[in-house]
Structure 1
Amino acid sequence: MIHNIIRDKPTRLFILLGSFFIANAIIAEIIGVKLFSLEETLGISKFSFSLLGETGLSIDLTVGVLTWPIVFIMTDIINEYYGVKGIRYLSFIAAGLIAFAFLVFFLAIKTSPANWWVPSQSKNGVPDMQAAYSQILGQGMNIIVASLTAFMIGQVTDATIFKKIKKLTGEKNIWMRATLSTLVSQLIDTVVVLFLFLYVSLGFPLGKVLAIGIVNYMYKFIIAIVMTPAIYLVHWLIERYLGKDLATEMKNSAMSKG
């Protein structure tokens, strides 16, 4: 039976796309505790601007933005060939695995460290490995509820808008349904996670939360536009792999069944 499963092209494609989708979602959650300066990374002078009464703002982002655009591209590609139900199924798996990963992190942090290991990296600038381990892996737990909530809402929104636009435009204008669905879902994702984490959890002033949200969303907006050629490339590769007739059949089925 397994031989029949792995020989089936649509099944193999679903496993490949789904694995890449889930892997990038988990990676984004884990690495997202680090904030970086986009300007300094690009080697340019830091911006300093005011927004909504907040001064001295610059483009400081979570490194999770490195892989989240890939997640949303995968959302649109999977939606194209497997429908909203396919995306919903993978989103629940991804959310469950993210929650499981952070449960394992929590248990790992609570284990008693070997005495010799704690100062073992002092020469590399890490005097307390247990503290570093707890801070890096444990920090993400502060935003896990907000992040998972935003992720699920964003994914369902993306898939739903994508399907509605495709019903209106047909097979043409891939860029339109992919870009618009991503922009709307990213807006919702950004608002939900920042509101729950910064405003509700940490008590940041609403003006500061909104200012940070606008800066982050503008970055995501630009990336969504820039990544449009990648969507066409992935579509082209899939069409070549499946063949035109099978690809068309899958897309029609995805639209009719959700």
Structure 2
Amino acid sequence: MNPTAVSAKARFIPLQKSYYPILLASFVAVFLISNILATKGVEIGPLITDGAFFLFPISYVIGDVLAECYGFTATRRAIWTSFVVTVLAVLAFYVAIWLPPASFYSGQVEFEMVLGLVPQIVVASLVGYIVGQLLNSYVLVAIKKRTGEKSLWARLLGSTVVGEFGDTLLFCLIAAPVIGITTAGELGNFVVVGFLWKTLLEIALLPLTYAVIRWVKKAEGY
């Protein structure tokens, strides 16, 4: 065989078999979509929240799986990846809005309404997300270092309470004026409802979180 032909053969970097990339992609997608949904204020009876209330808690479920299975460093990488991707998306939205619409395009106003994310909302979401997710993963890993593999429920609940409270409080304080919340009572309602809803939803999803963690650990040969 010709040595030159062998050396010229195409080569590729082999992929490592892991579910981390899938969880990372899901993590990024949930956060990005939630940022768009959160621009809508939602009022259900006496409850005041935003349009991402039903989706955003899923990011904490995925964050719990990442922290429990892969550790704080890997989870922190996923958090910052989501942050960068969302910033890039927001910049792309603004550029697309700024570009002159074609003469046959009649949806410019609607396009701006949906994707013209208010800077204050974006800042609120990013600040709350970074602080909340870092707290969530840090607390979970810190508890795990003390308990080992035991008491998974304790670290899931403990990290959720700390992370969701930090996230919700910061987001609500920064975003409330833009959403239309002006009184202390409405702000308190916004914070309490958001925190309780997200926390209770995560508690309700604990069986799913347990199942995913068990499956990932088994699949990764933990």
**TM-score of the aligned structures, taking structure 1 as reference length:** 0.75
**1:146-165 counterparts in 2 under 5 A?**
146-165=124-143
TM-fit CA distance, 1:3: 5.0
CA–CA separation in structure 1 for the residues paired with 2:117 and 2:130: 21
Contact 1:29 1:140 in 2 (8 A): no
Following TM superposition, by how much is the alpha carbon of 1:201 offset from its aligned partner in structure 2, in angstroms?
9.4
| 1:3-82 mapped onto 2 (5 Å cutoff) | 4=14, 6=15, 8-9=16-17, 12-38=18-44, 46=45, 58-82=46-70
Report SS of the residue matched to 1:64: coil
Q: Distance in 2 between matches of 1:102 and 1:131?
A: 17
Query: Number of paired residues?
Result: 212
Residue of structure 1 equivalent to 2:150: 172
Residues 144 and 155, structure 2, Cα contact 8 Å, conserved in 1: yes
TM-score, length basis structure 2 = 0.86
Identity of aligned residues (%): 25
Distance 1:2 1:232, change over 3 A: farther
Instruction: Tell me what 2:6 maps to.
Output: none
Aligned to 2:191: 213
Name the aligned partner's letter for residue 63 of structure 1: G
Once the two structures are superposed, residues 98-144 of structure 1 have per-residue CA deviations (whole angstroms, 9 ceiling, x without a partner) of: 011010100111112223322xxxxxxxxxx2111111111343311
Distance 2:12 2:40 in 1: 41
What corresponds to 2:174 in structure 1? 196
Match of 2:3 in 1: none
Contact 1:149 1:193 in 2 (8 A): yes
Shift of 1:200: 9.0
Q: For 1:26 and 1:196, how far apart are their aligned partners in 2?
A: 18
- Relative distance call for 1:209 and 1:36 in structure 2 (3 A) is closer
Q: Judging changes above 3 Å, is the alpha-carbon distance between structure 1 residues 61 and 211 closer, same or farther for their aligned structure 2 residues?
A: closer
**Structure 1 segments unaligned to the other structure (5+ residues):** 39-45, 47-57, 119-128, 248-258
1:115 pairs with 2:103? yes
